[in-house]
Amino acid sequence: MLFTVTQTCPEPHEISGLGDTNARRIAKIPGLDTTFIDWKSQMNKDVQENKQIKMVTLDFDLTIYDYAEPSATLLLRDWFLLLDRRGVFCGVASGRKWKDLRDTLGGLGLAWKKPFPDFVIEQEGLIWDDNDVTSNSLTRWNALRSSHIQSLHRECLPAFTQAVNQLKNRNICAVTDISYNSAGISVVYETPQAANIALEYMAKVLSCFSDVSISRNHHILLAVPTGFAKGDAVAKLAEIRGIMPSEVLAIGDNLNDGSMLCQERGFCCATVSNADPVIKQMVKEAGGFIAANRVARGVCESFVHYFGDITQNSVDLDGCFESQRITDVPTGQLEALK
């Protein structure tokens, strides 16, 4: 399929997936490059509108948030409101802590939980959802995962450390000290390429640990307990809420998202144009959608693919956003987490 590129400064109506009024508002955001690959005209005939999706899980860094252009995340603002109105349960799964995610979104003027995110999967697998119905089950999940993380630290850290030192002797050097916390065990390399070499070597060294999974998030090498990665957490939350795997849409970009994008999981899935080639292949094999745009634009494109262009027929949302234009990070949200 061939795609064309619009002009660098398109007319508001050319910002696909936003609706005319809301496109004008987005077009006025200072410093926001509204260039899109013109995928809409190419995919109208291919839209797989799925009104059965009840839960959406989004990776954060380089999926909805681009360090090179943070304000592009605002392109998703209409979608968050409209999916909320549809009753779609929409949240984020990240290696970051939830307070860091809150502060990052708040810095963009997006009020926490108004309406996004409905839930947070932080540090690769801890689930936070302030719904009373799920609280007891999630408390048990988080406690069990924490127990497995402690076992991982105790049993696997020496071998992980030895492997990092052996890689250093081969001139594959980490740029940080090894970190071990509630996300697992991790270390940062200078480039994704270096981290990939380290990943292959670490997988061999730790192959004797059947309950450890090794993955890579861009240039970060990560070890987590098997059965407690992002995809496992998404599946658990969906199960607790009575949502079938086929009613879940997961979108991510890197290898640590693989557990929620793989064919075996049974979720609807999508990825963005900047995704790792391994992830693109995984999504293709799962029958998912590969966007032609990067980061937030690719997520908008994925939403149109699965939900149809519902923003084009929406009411004007200007009034809804006025209360969200904030300068301070909101307080009092997700009190149960504090």
Q: How many residues does the chain have?
A: 338
Q: Which of 157, 201, 158, 207 is nearest to 181 (CA)?
A: 157
Q: Is pLDDT at 19 greater than 50 in this prediction?
A: no
Q: Is 62 in contact with 97 (CB distance < 8 Å)?
A: no
Is the bond leading into 225 cis (omega within 30 degrees of zero)? no
User: Residue 217 corresponds to which tokens in the numbers above?
Assistant: 């998030």
Rounded mean pLDDT, 146-161: 96
Q: Is pLDDT at 210 greater than 90 in this prediction?
A: no
Q: Is pLDDT at 25 greater than 50 in this prediction?
A: no
Structural domains for the chain: 48-125+229-307 (3.40.50.1000), 138-225 (3.40.109)
CA-to-CA separations, 123 to 83, 101, 120, 162, 314, in angstroms, rounded: 25, 11, 10, 24, 35
User: Residue 181 corresponds to which tokens in the numbers above?
Assistant: 């916390």
Q: Is pLDDT at 117 greater than 90 in this prediction?
A: yes
Percent of the chain with pLDDT over 90: 72
Rounded mean pLDDT, 141-149: 96
Rounded mean pLDDT, 178-204: 95
Rounded mean pLDDT, 136-158: 95
> Which residue would you say has higher pLDDT here, 199 or 114?
199
| pLDDT tier at 335, thresholds 50, 70, 90 | very low
The model carries a pTM of: 0.80
Residue by residue, DSSP assigns 172-204 as --BSS--EEETTEEEEEBSSHHHHHHHHHHHHH
**What's residue 35's pLDDT?**
56
Task: Name the strand (E) or helix (H) holding 122.
Answer: strand 120-122
Q: Which of 13-17, 50-54, 181-185 has the lowest mean pLDDT?
A: 13-17
User: Residue 211 corresponds to which tokens in the numbers above?
Assistant: 């309950």
| pLDDT tier at 321, thresholds 50, 70, 90 | very low
**What's residue 235's pLDDT?**
97
> Which residue would you say has higher pLDDT here, 41 or 172?
172
Q: Is pLDDT at 28 greater than 60 in this prediction?
A: no
Q: Is pLDDT at 52 greater than 80 in this prediction?
A: yes
The residues near 123 (Cβ < 8 Å, ≥ 6 apart) are 94, 95, 96, 97, 181, 182, 183, 184
Is the bond leading into 12 cis (omega within 30 degrees of zero)? no
Give the highest mean pLDDT range of 9-13, 23-27, 163-167. Answer: 163-167
Q: Is 105 in contact with 73 (CB distance < 8 Å)?
A: yes
